[in-house]
Amino acid sequence: MAEIASSEPTRRDFLYIATGAVGAVGLGAAIWPFISQMNPDASTLALSTVEVDISQVAEGQSITVKWRGKPVFIRHRTAQEISEAKAVSLDQLIDPVARNENLPAEAPATDENRSAKGKEPWLVMIGICTHLGCVPLGQQGDYDGWFCPCHGSQYDSAGRVRHGPAPENMHIPAYEFISDTTVRIG
Ligand code: FES
């Protein structure tokens, strides 16, 4: 995992690549200029919202951005990962609630309610294990999703907990696509 951080001590946003996929280093190089172009006002604003250029995130890749001090996973899912997530019925889930800030609190954890509206391949969620707060590792585990090395929780390709002590699906923050290639989180 490569990590790229700003040289400016006051800048709090950073991102790192959370995938071993080929091209990850190039991806970081492509995205970093976008962040580094942010002016001071925008940098302050980044404490509440962050805009992310996802144009270079290829299918099968993920990036992690920092938002309000938390890691946010943005994953461009493959067709297989989507179909696996869709094939899961709600009664197979440990947590049947979507945990999606963009939907009513009781919305069920269908794949549709977990992925981006109108942009099914994209998953945007807070990368914090709901057990005790570790950051799960992507593209690992038995469900083509995430594995939390702290106590073994596993999440599927929709970020729903499927195994282990974590009580809830990873949470989805308020976000929207403000263009085909830009996501605003917060
Ligand atoms: Fe993730 Fe305990 S913090 S399983």
DSSP for 140-183, please give it.
ETTTTEEE-TTT--EE-TTS-EEESS--SPPPB-SEEEEETTEE
The residue whose C-alpha atom lies closest to atom 4 belonging to ligand 1 is 151
User: Is 178 found in the same domain as 86?
Assistant: yes
User: Is 27 found in the same domain as 56?
Assistant: no
User: Is 147 found in the same domain as 115?
Assistant: yes
**Residue ranges making up the domain that contains 127:** 46-185
Query: In this predicted model, what pLDDT tens digit does every residue of 113-148 receive, in sequence order?
Result: 999 989 999 999 999 999 999 999 999 999 999 999
Domain for residue 2, yes or no?
no
User: Is 132 found in the same domain as 84?
Assistant: yes
Instruction: Give yes or no for residue 4 having a pLDDT over 90.
Output: no
Q: Please work out whether the CB of residue 164 comes within 6 Å of at least one atom of ligand 1.
A: yes
Question: What is the predicted pLDDT for the residue at 117?
Answer: 87
Return the best residue to mutate from 94, 95, 132 for the ligand 1 pocket (most ligand atoms within 8 A of CB): 132
Domain for residue 123, yes or no?
yes
Domain count, the chain: 2
User: Is 22 found in the same domain as 102?
Assistant: no
User: Is 80 found in the same domain as 165?
Assistant: yes
Q: What would the mean pLDDT of 168-180 be, rounded to a whole number?
A: 97
Q: Tokens for 167? A: 């009580």
Active-site positions?
151
pTM: 0.77
Q: Is residue 101 very low, low, confident or very high in pLDDT (cuts 50, 70, 90)?
A: very high
Contact 79, 46 (CB under 8 A): no
Domain for residue 100, yes or no?
yes
User: Is 107 found in the same domain as 16?
Assistant: no
Residue 147 belongs to a domain with what CATH number?
A: 2.102.10.10
User: Is 54 found in the same domain as 127?
Assistant: yes
Nearest atom of ligand 1 to the alpha carbon of 134: 3
Domain for residue 139, yes or no?
yes
